[in-house]
Amino acid sequence: MATAAPATARRRPPTVLLVAGGFLAATVLVALAAPLVAPYDPLAQSVMARLRGPGAAHLLGTDQFGRDLLSRILYGLRASLAISFGAVGLALLVGGTLGLISAYYRGWTERIVMRVMDVLFAFPVMLLAIGIIAVLGPGATTTAAAIAIVYTPIFARLLRGPALVVATSDYVLSARSIGASDARIIALHILPNLASVVLVQMSLLMSTAILVEASLSFLGLGTQPPTPSLGMMLSEGRNFLLLSPWSAVFSGLAILFVAFVLNFFGDVLRDQLDPRLR
């Protein structure tokens, strides 16, 4: 007579999560180690090596100034990840704080905060980002700030919903009854229960932040030359598609790969942390 398998055997091991996390860790590690891994200086020009295809000297070829494409992609990946991580982290800090405060205090605080978030949320992502950069000026720092402002209402609305439920739970009411401060209740009782939601949303928004950053750089509003940027490389390479398409092709593939890795990791993480999807 067959016996029921134990719960640990019935549950699928998180192999996919390990694979997704490995891809993400490898991508971040390569970006951080760009000064050590890159075979050439990303800014070094060579007139004699302009628009060359992949070969032994330059594994991915060169651009219109004779700069090594592999080196520029590695440094561009580093810049894109830094901007995206910084933007999403700042958006989480500001938007998450506003969402928690509005859910905890309710009343006029919630109404004012959420109406401001609704105004920001009403603008299309790219239009609002372009408008902010038009005021602050182009550059890597302003690009990160623009993306952070665009994503702030997303985190505010995301954390407000579950925070409303947690704020009315028995253990929060008990903490209030014994005189615990509001900051202690939010930090020790409400915020830890939202960790899974925060992790999943951060990984998913990182993938879209990479695309937004690349789009702004493609339009000339993001990272400014001569600093390498994947979006800027794609924009410059489109002018030489018939002569040497390698700059546009490889930079586009790099954007596709890093966005896919982040989105894949976010999807797998959501499946593992959400008990309804197990």
Query: What are the extents of the domains in the chain?
Result: 63-277
Residue 8 is encoded by which pair of tokens? 């640990």
Say what the pTM is. 0.85
Q: Helix-strand-coil percent breakdown of the chain, rounded to 5?
A: 75, 0, 25
In angstroms, the CA 180 to CA 163 distance is: 18
- Do 69 and 62 contact (CB within 8 A), yes or no? yes
Beta bridge partners of 256: none
Reduce the DSSP state of residue 68 to 3 states and report it. Answer: strand
Q: Please tell me the predicted confidence (pLDDT) of residue 75.
A: 94
Tell me which residue of 237, 232, 251, 217 sits closest to 130, measured CA to CA.
217
Token pair in block for residue 128: 């609002």
The pLDDT tens digits along the chain (278 residues) read 444 444 444 455 478 878 888 888 999 999 999 999 999 999 988 888 888 889 888 899 999 899 999 999 999 999 999 999 999 999 999 999 999 888 888 888 888 989 999 898 888 889 999 999 989 889 899 999 999 999 999 999 888 888 888 877 887 878 878 877 878 888 888 888 888 888 888 888 998 999 999 999 999 898 888 889 999 999 988 888 888 899 999 999 999 999 999 988 888 888 777 655 55
Q: Tell me which fold the domain 63-277 belongs to.
A: MetI-like fold (1.10.3720)
Phi, psi of 68 (to 5 degrees): -70, 125
Q: By three-state DSSP, how is residue 62 classified?
A: strand
Backbone φ and ψ for 133, nearest 5 degrees, come out as -65, -35
pLDDT of residue 278: 53
Whole-angstrom distance, CA of residue 101 vs CA of residue 145: 22
